[in-house]
Structure 1
Amino acid sequence: MQVPPVFIDIAIEDQTQELRAYLKSLGAEISEERSPKGIEDDLHKIIGVCDTCFKEGNEAEVELVLNDIVSIMVLVSPERAENIILAFCEKLTKSHHQKLGEVCLRALWLLYQSLDERSPMRYPVYYHLLLIAKQTDQIKSIFQDVESLKEQFKHCPLSNEELQKLYRLLHEVLLKSNQSEQAAKVMIELLGTYTDKTASHARDDAIRCITSAIADPNTFLLDPLLSLKPVHILKGQLIHDLLNIFVSENLTAYLKFYNEHKEFVTNQGLSHELNIRKIRLLSFMQLAEITPEISFEAVEKELQIKMDEVEAFIIEVLKTKLVTARMDQLAKKVYVSSTMHRTFGRTQWQQLRNVLQAWKNNLSGVQEGMKSVNAAQVELMQQQAQPV
């Protein structure tokens, strides 16, 4: 987010007095006189009534007032600014008018950028930025990806408790903004903050992670979740059984689970219809791993769809780019070139090793062939150079 810098070429005391006078003219309950207690008290009183300017609905005026407050606030010594910053964050989060949400977001982002990289106040400011972004659907303005977020806090590391609180909120905001892939990454980061000793306290987060991954139409590789300690703690419970189905089993296994635990699936907020769509795609991937040539009849039987729906289903699979294949409608077959593996264990590592070994052998063969060609050319040149 680009926020214009604020440069006001007057004394801080005069700035606060002008803000007081302006807000009073709008009907705020504040005197025009500066506080004898100093600039911090002035800021507290100004922040307390700054939302008065929201009633006018003039974005430019509101932004000018908020940026003016920020420009004064960042000049207060860090040890005395904490309560002022928190008051400003809470005021913008709770009091902003819906139409002025982006203005509030920009003002708070300006404050965030103005703070020293080592300032512990960057955390609460960013947390409130997320709250406003959730209300205004502007998460893209302040969040790029998990790696960038970590970079922002590298000079002022957060505690596990702070990280967990931040990741939970970020996950909610991303889901609300339909950024399910980023939300899934954030949830995995959240679960990664738990240790062996605290994993048992992460039950709700682990369940939320599993259900989010299953519900996300763009997440197909669920195997990594099984290695997370909080997820491992759930082993033996229904949610873990359901995850295992989406990791490595097929449509038949899911339908059996659903018929036995319909209420459980519904209570997790999962859609049975969407679950079927995903498990069919995953089942086809599993089928493609086994055989490079799949008949329409096999697709019909394995995925329990009608013959006249097979072509449309295969086209849907190809659109996901999970499988690279060619469909032959006349022969009623699918010829698979490659497929993403649902799990990546010892078998897949062995397959990769074999592929790399074959590639290495082919390169060695090419290298030897080039040496032979080069030797033949040298010999030919030497023969041509000899006098007749």
Structure 2
Amino acid sequence: MADAATRDAALKMADNAKLAFEHGASKSAALSFCSALGAAFRACNLALDQSQEQNQPSGTVAFDEATRVAQNKLDSSVEGAVQVAIGALIEYADNDADAMRSLGGDVASRTDRADVRLRALSSLYNAAPNGRGEHGRLRYEMLLLVIAFGERAGLSSALHPVFAKVEEYGTQWELSPADRRGLLDAVASALVAGGDLAAAHEYKLKALHEVDPAANRSIEAEAERAAAVVTQSIMLDNVFRFDELPDLESVRALEHTHALLWELLNILISGGLKEYLAFHNANSAYVADTLKLSHEALVRKMRLLTFASLGIAKQELSYEEVASALEVEVDEVEAWVIRAISSGLLDARVDELGSRVVINRSTTRVFTKQEWQPLHQRIELWKRNLDALSSMLAAKRAAISAYDQ
């Protein structure tokens, strides 16, 4: 925290800038005012007032004075000061980008009264010209500042509506792949800080797709990024689809840079519990120490994925078939049916009298010819059943018509 002398100097500078601006509104006066206001934001603790700091100037004095420049008393003198600065920049300084960046950095330099500072930053972001080129670049930089501050101040949850639009913004502002990736990374980082790992993972996965073919990229660096995303995919309890990951060049590179992770990924894509257990027996230290993954959680995930594969192959499964494939006791099968349904992998019912599981729908893990064949057979069966039902209804209609005549 700045000492009293620094605070006094900052507030004095803001006051002098205010007077200069009042007596001669111009670009230089507007820029001086914004600079002085930024210094006050950087030096002053907004959470303190005169009753808390004996014999020291209030941290809101400069902001009160700045508000009076516009002769418009707002609810918050701090936010009012920022509105005055924005108005000065727009009217007298052609929305000077450097001044806006500088003031934004000053506002974000501390986290006292984080809610007020975040609203001030949001006002600066909204005041930045919207468009392409330099305008888009400024908007992008201000949004990064807002997101980073929200993360640091523990206010990321307030920015979720903004997070949902960052891909749209990337297109609207014509950002480069590197900048779009930077925006997605910032959102992912903020979500991780807020404890929402599943949502963060989605943005990290999107960031993997943002690759500039013309850029000189390090294969190793891209592979490390891809390895982190793949590992998190495996770790998250609600992720069961892995077949699209190898579509990414950086993920395919894992075959050469992270061979064991590549092998584990392919087991999750199309292998079963037996393949995973064999892998773990040979690489238990790698799973636990390098990837930091829980063997028990992976066994649970592989049992669910194996169950899904069983449901694709057959519409009816005996308890013994399920128990054998999942390597559990027969009396545990019903519990695993419930888990598979809850995870969204299966739509099924239990026939307790017949000791069987009837599959209505099962999630296909990867679409190859082998996986398409049972689906094709099932569709053909449905088609024949519908044709038979249609013929039966037509015959009944004909019989009724003949009877009426």
TM-score over 0.5 for the alignment? yes
Tell me if 1:43 matches 2:66: no
Moved more, 105-114 or 247-256: 105-114
Structure 1 vs Structure 2 CA RMSD: 3.6
Partner Cα separation in structure 2 for residue 31 and residue 135 of structure 1: 27
Partner Cα separation in structure 2 for residue 199 and residue 372 of structure 1: 70
Partner Cα separation in structure 2 for residue 85 and residue 372 of structure 1: 78
Shift of 1:230: 0.6
Moved more, 185-194 or 140-149: 140-149
Q: Percent identity?
A: 22
Tell me if 1:261 matches 2:279: no
Partner Cα separation in structure 2 for residue 191 and residue 378 of structure 1: 64
Moved more, 287-296 or 56-65: 56-65
Residue pair 1:324, 1:338 contacting (<8 A) in 2 also: yes
- Residue 247 of structure 1 aligns with which residue? 269
**For the structure 1 residues 167 and 313, does the alpha-carbon distance in structure 2 shift closer, same or farther, using more than 3 Å as the test?**
same
Shift of 1:134: 1.9
- Residue 96 of structure 1 aligns with which residue? 111
- Residue 144 of structure 2 aligns with which residue? 127
Q: Deviations over 1:109-166 (max 9, x none)?
A: 2222232221221111111122123234444433448773222233321112212222
Q: Deviations over 1:184-240 (max 9, x none)?
A: 332232111225674724112211110121111111111100111110111141111
Query: Match for 2:301 among 269, 278, 291?
Result: 278
- Residue 347 of structure 2 aligns with which residue? 324
Partner Cα separation in structure 2 for residue 313 and residue 221 of structure 1: 19
Shift of 1:271: 2.4
Partner Cα separation in structure 1 for residue 203 and residue 313 of structure 2: 33
Partner Cα separation in structure 1 for residue 92 and residue 383 of structure 2: 64
- Residue 54 of structure 1 aligns with which residue? 46
Q: Secondary structure at the match of 2:165?
A: helix
- Residue 16 of structure 2 aligns with which residue? 33
Q: Deviations over 1:2-29 (max 9, x none)?
A: xxxxxxxxxxxxxxxxxxxxx9889835
**For the structure 1 residues 245 and 25, does the alpha-carbon distance in structure 2 shift closer, same or farther, using more than 3 Å as the test?**
same
**For the structure 1 residues 316 and 53, does the alpha-carbon distance in structure 2 shift closer, same or farther, using more than 3 Å as the test?**
same
- Residue 162 of structure 1 aligns with which residue? 179
Q: Deviations over 1:320-371 (max 9, x none)?
A: 2210011233443221111111112334456666666777788888899999
Residue pair 2:7, 2:40 contacting (<8 A) in 1 also: no
Residue pair 2:166, 2:184 contacting (<8 A) in 1 also: no
2:269 maps to a residue whose letter is V
Moved more, 185-194 or 243-252: 185-194
Residue pair 1:206, 1:231 contacting (<8 A) in 2 also: yes
Q: Deviations over 1:53-81 (max 9, x none)?
A: 51327994444444444444444645x62
For 1:281-360, what aligned pairs fall within 5 Å after superposition? 281-349=304-372
**For the structure 1 residues 40 and 292, does the alpha-carbon distance in structure 2 shift closer, same or farther, using more than 3 Å as the test?**
same
Question: What is the TM-score of this pair, normalised by structure 1?
Answer: 0.77
Partner Cα separation in structure 2 for residue 77 and residue 255 of structure 1: 67
Which consecutive residues of structure 1, in runs of 5 or more, have no partner in the other structure?
1-22, 384-388
**For the structure 1 residues 29 and 244, does the alpha-carbon distance in structure 2 shift closer, same or farther, using more than 3 Å as the test?**
farther
Partner Cα separation in structure 1 for residue 334 and residue 389 of structure 2: 42
Question: What is the TM-score of this pair, normalised by structure 2?
Answer: 0.74
Query: Match for 2:244 among 221, 224, 229?
Result: 224
**For the structure 1 residues 246 and 196, does the alpha-carbon distance in structure 2 shift closer, same or farther, using more than 3 Å as the test?**
farther
- Residue 18 of structure 1 aligns with which residue? none
**For the structure 1 residues 61 and 362, does the alpha-carbon distance in structure 2 shift closer, same or farther, using more than 3 Å as the test?**
farther
Which consecutive residues of structure 2, in runs of 5 or more, have no partner in the other structure?
1-5, 22-27, 50-59, 61-74
**For the structure 1 residues 189 and 31, does the alpha-carbon distance in structure 2 shift closer, same or farther, using more than 3 Å as the test?**
closer
